[in-house]
Every structure is written in C-alpha cells, then in structure tokens.
Amino acid sequence: MSSDYYQILGVSTDAGADEIKKAYRRKAREMHPDVSDDPDAATKFKEVSQAYEVLSDPQKRELYDRGGDPFGNGGMGGFGFNGGGGFGTAGGFDFTNLVDAMFGQQTARGPRPRVRRGQNALVRMSLELAEAAFGVTKPITVDTAVLCPRCNGKGSETGAEPVTCATCRGQGEVTHIQRSFIGDIRTTQACPTCGGYGSVIPDPCVECSGDGRVRSTRTITVKVPAGVSTGNRIHLASHGEVGPGGGPAGDLYVEVHVNPHELFKRDGDNLEMVVKLPMTAAALGTELDLPTLEADLPDADPDKTTVRLTVPAGTQSGTRLTVDDAGVPKLRSNSRGDLGVTLLVQTPTKLDDEQRELLRKLAEVREETRPEGAVQKHGRGVFSRLRDAFANQ
C-alpha cells in the first residue's frame, strides 16, 4: 500500500478515535467536491474517506498498522468501498451522501414548475463608424429557443394536461434511507421518473419532446441609436430564449462593435484625423476642404460631406486644429463632438535646380544658411503630439 492514512488525515500514529473523527470531518469538509474549487477534490475526498474508514475501525486499523491490506482478499471487507480498495457504494452506502447530510445539503426542493421564464440571450453586431455615429436600423440573425409550433408550448402531442407522477406522487423528489456507522442517512433526490416536475406528460410532443420549445433561427430588426460605441448594449425586452413549457421569453442584449475607419479615429465623441501639408502651404497659410463622416452615409446632404479648415501661416508640423461640431453625435443628446485635425508638414525631397536655387535664396534672406538648432526641452511638444496622432493609424 502506498497511501499513508495517518498523513492523509493529518494525525499521529497514536491518535485517538475522537481526534481521528475530528480530523476526518475537517478534511472532508475541505475536500468535498461540492465545496472545494480544487480540480482534484473528488480524488482527495475519496482518499480522506478511505483513510477514515480504516483508522476508525479498530480491526482494520490494527491490520493496517501491521502492514496488512484491510481491503485485500481475505482482509476486512469495508462497506462503502469496492473489493479493490477504491471508493464505491458497496452495501448501498455512499460517503458523499454522508458528508452531504453532515453539511445540511439534503434540503427538500419540492416539485419545480414546468413553465418557467426563459434565459436572456446575447448577440454581437458589427457597425461601421458612420452607422454607430448617426444611428441605423439593421436586421440581425438570432439562434434561440422559440415556442414549439406543433404543440404551442403545451409539450403534449394531444394537448392533454400533465398528470401526477406515480413515483413521487407529485412531490418531484424521492427519499432514500441508508444505514451507516453513525446511524440512518436520509437522502432526497429529484424523481427519476418526472425529472423533479411532480407530473408527467403522457403523450409528449414529437417536435419538442415535451419541452414546449424548439431551437430556431430568426431575424430581428434592431434600431441602433446615434452615438453608440464599442461595448454598448441595446436591450430588447422579451426577445431572448422562450422558457421551458412555453414560458415567457427572456431578454435579448445586442452588443455593439464598431469597425476601424480608414480616415478617422474616434476618441470619445471627437473624431481625429491626420492631414499631410506641403511646407510652402504651412509657411504661407492655406484653406483645406476635408471630408466629414457624413460622406459615408448613402443619403448624405452634399453640403455636409466636406468641411473647410483654415490653416494659418507659419503652422508647424504636429499642430492640431479643430472643427467644432464635426465629430460624433453624443448618445441621447443633440450636441456633437469636434473634429481634430493634426497637420503633418512635409519637407520636399526631390528638387530641381530652379527650386533648389529659390530655397537657397530664401535661406540667405532669412539668414538660415547655417542655422543653429534649438534643443527642445522634454515635455509634451511636437513629437509627443505626432506620436499620439499616429497611434493606431
């Protein structure tokens, strides 16, 4: 034998009967599969029960202390274990029932209702940025339990009402009494005939097998309000799973996921975009016609598909300008966020002789032929703004 029963219970080899019983109760309470989160709880519980079975019996304990096998052939046959020493129900006794009784888990349940409310359901919907910003009405496909079309939720092929179960007499549960070394153990379980309902359907519906509902795929139209974002959920009452026995349906929740946009990045109710600007335009100032999110709408007003942005002369790379009320409509509000435009000034890389000469003359006029670079102090300067602007682009 490889198991050390004294070590399993955590007692010394000269422990008395009371100490062994207390150790067993403590260990059994910790290792019971219905209580412990340990994935090996069932195995450990069996070991604890087996150790107690041996050490609590003077004859088995004496045989074990001499090196014998109390569960071997010719040894003491123990109730509650099979001939090979494994955990079992020999003699009609199960240690699980014993510990359940010790912990008070044999509470009577009574018959459970055949008609119950259905569970809530969750589906996910992908939206384009414009759809999420301005709202949209879209159909979605949902796979849920629906009312059985054959029996209309009755569960009976003929429409007859359920009759009282003969096994449990309508109680929904049956009680067994088992004898153990500490007395009679009373266990209560759901009736195997009616499944705990207390009644049976004599002629179950062939479509739903008496459940009153079947799985089906259906299409639901969902109205998405303007301003939703990823993670928002739309609540549709009574559009979830139909309950057993044709019970009322649960609710349906539609979780929104907004797809990335090729031009805009959403920041709350604001939109952000990056625009490349020639060096000359940044130096002299200019006006830019920029697309808006409305341009993605199929029936957009042409006057709202673009917005004009004035770039002041001398604009530096990384400058962020804003266009008021050109962002995302705020959820359950009439106001909108802003459109932030980060300008990236581009230095020309290919110059012909004429362009190079013009720039050289400009540098001479501005006395910048040999400029001294100004060291930028640490802080949120141009590079920090550029890094944020290009993040996730």
> Which residue numbers belong to the known binding site for Zn(2+)?
148, 151, 165, 168, 191, 194, 205, 208
Residue 132: CB atoms within 10 A of its CB come to: 28
Cα dist. 142→62, 167, 223, 244, 379 in Å?
66, 40, 15, 18, 52
Q: Taken in order 146, 152, 153, 158, is the CA torsion positive or negative?
A: negative
Residues 6+ apart with CB under 8 A from 154: 205, 212, 246
Residue with tokens 């359940």: 100
Annotated binding site: 148, 151, 165, 168, 191, 194, 205, 208
Residues 6+ apart with CB under 8 A from 189: 173, 174, 176
Q: Cα torsion at 73, 79, 82, 86 (round to 10°)?
A: -100
How far is 57 from 358, CA to CA, in rounded Å? 107
Per the DSSP assignment, residues forming a β-bridge with 309 are 288
Q: Taken in order 308, 309, 311, 317, is the CA torsion positive or negative?
A: negative
Cα dist. 387→319, 383, 391 in Å?
12, 6, 6
